[in-house]
């Protein structure tokens, strides 16, 4: 029985996450959340304590569903340039293929809640830092192997690439045109330099 409740709560958080992406924190009413999750307001309050509690759970789920796979991809790669390109292409394809222009929950939370909720800030920082650290490790290894130029530090490159990824999500919510997003992605990827020619 406990297992069934656990599954239902996971599904409820997934549904709430989509509501928050579509409407933002302020725009999402408890009625919206109850309808989307299929749970009454009383059940949501009992499970999460408050709307804030459900929002924080949605941020945690967003990290699991979107950030964690990126980190795994970066950790599993050996060719820094190819793996990072694959990540950028995957993000662009995700944005362009959505069709609903749903905002990135990280970006939305940054604009709407980070200024006055340290719990949100902690989650956003943890999520973005996990991606940045995985990028840093891959880039540093790539520099040691001669795959990536050393004229910029791996730390600066990783920070810039995370900023670029989030920027793509912002612009994708405005205009999810794949070709335009890929042109921007190519500019960001140019910071990795030209592929060394074989000798």
User: What are the pLDDT digits (tens) for 127-174?
Assistant: 999 999 999 999 999 999 999 999 999 999 999 999 999 999 989 888
**Helix/strand/coil for 177:** coil
Q: What is the pLDDT of residues 70-120, one digit of tens each?
A: 999 999 988 999 999 999 999 999 888 876 666 688 888 998 998 889 999
Global pTM value? 0.85
- Mean residue pLDDT across the chain: 89
- 67 to each of 38, 85, 126, 166, 182, how far by Cα in Å? 26, 16, 10, 11, 20
Average pLDDT over residues 37-59: 92
């Amino acid at each position: 029985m406990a297992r069934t409740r656990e599954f239902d709560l996971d599904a409820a958080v997934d549904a709430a996450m989509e509501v928050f992406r579509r409407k933002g924190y302020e725009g999402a009413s408890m009625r919206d959340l109850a309808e989307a999750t299929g749970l009454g307001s009383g059940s949501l309050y009992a499970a999460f304590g408050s709307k804030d509690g459900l929002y924080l759970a949605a941020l945690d789920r967003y990290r699991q569903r979107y950030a964690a796979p990126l980190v795994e991809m970066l950790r599993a790669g050996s060719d820094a340039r190819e793996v990072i390109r694959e990540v950028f292409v995957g993000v662009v394809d995700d944005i362009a293929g959505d069709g609903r222009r749903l905002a990135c929950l990280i970006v939305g939370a940054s604009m709407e809640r980070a200024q006055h909720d340290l719990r949100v800030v902690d989650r956003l920082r943890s999520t973005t830092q996990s991606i940045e650290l995985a990028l840093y490790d891959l880039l540093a290894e790539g520099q040691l192997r001669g795959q990536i130029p050393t004229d910029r530090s791996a730390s600066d490159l990783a920070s810039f690439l995370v900023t670029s990824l989030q920027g793509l999500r912002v612009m994708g919510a405005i205009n999810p045109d794949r070709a335009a997003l890929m042109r921007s992605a190519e500019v960001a990827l140019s910071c990795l330099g030209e592929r060394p020619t074989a000798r």
